Amino acid sequence: MRVDFLEEGLTAKIRVIGVGGAGGNAINNMIESGLKNVTFIAANTDLQALDMSRASIKIQLGVNVTRGLGAGANPEIGRQAGLESIDQIKEVIEGSDMVFITAGMGGGTGTGAAPIIAQASKELGALTVAVVTKPFGFEGKKKMQIAENGIAQLREVVDTIITIPNNRLLELKPRAVTLLETFKKADQVLYYAVKGIADLITIQGLVNVDFADVRTIMEEKGLALMGTGISSGDNRSIEAAQRAIRSPLLEDVSIKGAKGVLMNITASSEMTLEEVESASSLIYKEADENANIIWGTVIDDTMGDEMMITVIATGIKQDGIPLEETEKTQSLEDYKAKKEKKHEKEHQKTRIFRRLPLEEDDLDIPTFVRQRRD
């Protein structure tokens, strides 16, 4: 059994485990994005793919079962590989406060081993969240059924699951966009979910939201919605909030009836209480009337006229909300590109967190460009 520990920085209490080829690609993209305060772990039966991982910790799953050659799209082989390596899995998870597990459903390693890893994480007391993809429709009913079975197994052991159907990727961009760029869209869902929670825990606030608060929200069993919206202008708070709860990549889930909500609002020091109230009220009215809602604000004067809102809702139903996108609402890619062009400078960020009183009115992604099997 091979477990590689590479040199890493500060020990993180949040770990992200990429299982199989799709999961490995996802964490590579997160590492490229420079996400901090997180430990990345790659777990795969394919030794060649594992050697290409940028993760600081690598686990070769099922040395005896697969001999480093992958699971051959067989989830039972993936499950056996996970069970064979269970001690190594627990070794790297132990001490975690929160574990994100990302994988593509429908193949071998991700579908079979992800539930094994999730169960180990829960047994060790970590808050466990799965972010997984479903196959394209053109991959056939058999692969979709395998994926659905894997998702059902994950639901039994994780606290929260976020599902991304690959078919949604077909609706996002023109034909000229490359395959790699398209798949990175799905990886961004994981990136912003992890970053949002990492910021909640690690950025000191005037009124702190501690990990116990995050656990309370994320332990609401069921489906989850995670979205980020950016807007500007007079109605920026409403527009950004609407976009945040309308992720085009997620499964048909609606924030209506959500039992737990985390919300972050980032804007310059010109942000008004009225804007905070209007955005919070929109989210509050869409969620369950008895939902546990925690909101926070970040004052960042490099934002200019823009406002960014991130929402993580848990315990939600499986139906969609048709919210219209306005002209002033930017894509996350445009926002990131614009921010990268600004001169780097030191600026002060102030985070304010409060609980919203309930009584107030108000991929495995079939990555054809990567490994031959998973």
Question: Could you report the per-residue pLDDT of 42-57, keeping only the tens digit for each?
Answer: 999 999 999 999 999 9
Mean of per-residue pLDDT scores for the chain: 79
Task: For residue 18, say whether it is annotated as part of any ligand binding site.
Answer: no
Quote the tokens at residue 33: 């994005």
Confidence of residue 338 (pLDDT cuts 50, 70, 90): low
Cβ atoms of residues 144 and 163 within 8 Å = no
Give pLDDT, residue 320: 41
Task: For residue 139, say whether it is annotated as part of any ligand binding site.
Answer: yes
Lowest mean pLDDT, pick from 142-146, 148-152, 242-246, 293-297: 293-297
Task: For residue 320, say whether it is annotated as part of any ligand binding site.
Answer: no
Distance CA 91, CA 269 (A): 45
Task: For residue 24, say whether it is annotated as part of any ligand binding site.
Answer: yes
- In DSSP terms, 308 is beta-bridged to 230, 266
Task: For residue 333, say whether it is annotated as part of any ligand binding site.
Answer: no
Task: For residue 291, say whether it is annotated as part of any ligand binding site.
Answer: no
Confidence of residue 301 (pLDDT cuts 50, 70, 90): confident
Task: For residue 110, say whether it is annotated as part of any ligand binding site.
Answer: yes
**Of residues 191 and 374, which shows the higher confidence score?**
191
310-323 pLDDT per residue, tens = 888 888 765 544 33
Question: Of 86, 83, 80, 44, nearest to 61 (Cα)?
Answer: 44
Task: For residue 22, say whether it is annotated as part of any ligand binding site.
Answer: yes
Task: For residue 301, say whether it is annotated as part of any ligand binding site.
Answer: no
Distances from the Cα of 80 to the Cα of 43, 73, 110, 115, 286, angstroms? 14, 13, 12, 11, 43
Task: For residue 315, say whether it is annotated as part of any ligand binding site.
Answer: no
- In DSSP terms, 133 is beta-bridged to 104, 164
74-88 pLDDT per residue, tens = 999 999 999 999 999
Distance CA 113, CA 348 (A): 43
Task: For residue 108, say whether it is annotated as part of any ligand binding site.
Answer: yes
Which spans in 67-223 are helix H?
A: 75-84, 86-93, 109-123, 141-155, 179-202, 211-218
What domains lie within the chain, and their CATH numbers?
10-202 (3.40.50.1440), 222-319 (3.30.1330.20)
Give pLDDT, residue 368: 31
- Residue 66 confidence (pLDDT) above 80: yes
Neighbours of 282 (CB within 10 A): 22
Give pLDDT, residue 201: 66
